[in-house]
Every structure is written in C-alpha cells, then in structure tokens.
C-alpha cells in the first residue's frame, strides 16, 4: 500500500469519525443553537413541519455515504463494510433511545429512526452512480 493510499484512508476515517460526532451533537443538543441560526426563513413553509425528518435523513445519508466510500470497490465481499453499516443502524437506534429516555429536552421518534434507515439505504443505492452525477452536474 502506498503512502498516498494510507493518507487517503486516514482522511476518510477522520471524516467518518468527525461526522459521527456531528450527528451526536445534532441529536443530543437542545436544538436552541440551531434555532438561533434563523434558517427557517430560508425554508418553504410547506417543508418546515418535515424538517426534523429531512435532517435525520440527511445526517445518516452522509454517514452511509462515508462508510460506503471506505469500501467502494470491495463492498460485497468486505465484512468490515457490513460491520460499519450495522454500527450505523445501531447508532441511529441508540440516538432515538437516548433522546427518549435520557435527554429531557428531546424525545425519541420511531419515524426519525425510519428516516435514518431510508437515508442510509438510499445513499448506498445511489453511491455507484455518484461519479456520473458529479460529472454531469459539474461538467
């Protein structure tokens, strides 16, 4: 394995670990800091009631994308990919359980967990098409 490959692996794992902490922060913080950003004015009114599900979908879409990017060539035969993906599912469930039972300002929701799972599944399904999309979109 070359030094360039090792650096790329370290960067990929670093991105994954940082994103796991970002998800934890977003799931376990009170939400007041996000409300202070006043982004609601940028979001259409019809979409605002569903923002929680969209945020959950997006967080775990990105998580699965980062996991898949670690093993993009050997996914089918690589047990490590399935272990990481299993961790992501357990992490998604754990965030909802912790929100429900341990954080007074938050509540767990099975629909949030569903949004997490749908985000991960869609990310894995469209991952093979990502290079073509980027090429088409950015020229």
Q: Identify the pLDDT of residue 113.
A: 97
Confidence of residue 2 (pLDDT cuts 50, 70, 90): low
Instruction: Give the pair of three-digit tokens for residue 42.
Output: 């940028």
CB 112 within 8 A of CB 133: no
CB 110 within 8 A of CB 96: yes
Q: Identify the pLDDT of residue 82.
A: 87
Provide φ and ψ at 74, rounded to 5°.
-125, 30
* Mean pLDDT value of segment 37-66: 83
CA angle 130, 17, 72 (to 5 degrees): 30
Q: Identify the pLDDT of residue 4.
A: 67
Mean residue pLDDT across the chain: 84
């Amino acid at each position: 394995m070359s030094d360039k490959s090792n650096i790329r692996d370290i960067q990929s794992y670093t991105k994954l670990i940082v994103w796991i902490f970002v998800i934890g922060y977003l799931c376990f913080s009170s939400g007041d800091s996000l409300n202070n950003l006043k982004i609601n004015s940028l979001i259409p009114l019809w979409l605002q009631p569903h923002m929680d599900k969209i945020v959950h979908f997006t967080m775990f879409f990105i998580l699965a994308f980062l996991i898949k990017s670690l093993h993009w060539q050997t996914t089918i035969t690589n047990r490590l990919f399935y272990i990481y993906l299993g961790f992501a599912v357990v992490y998604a469930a754990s965030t909802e359980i912790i929100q429900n039972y341990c954080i007074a300002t938050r509540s767990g929701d099975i629909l949030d967990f569903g949004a997490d799972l749908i985000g991960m599944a869609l990310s894995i399904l469209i991952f093979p098409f990502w290079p073509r999309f980027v090429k088409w979109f950015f020229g």
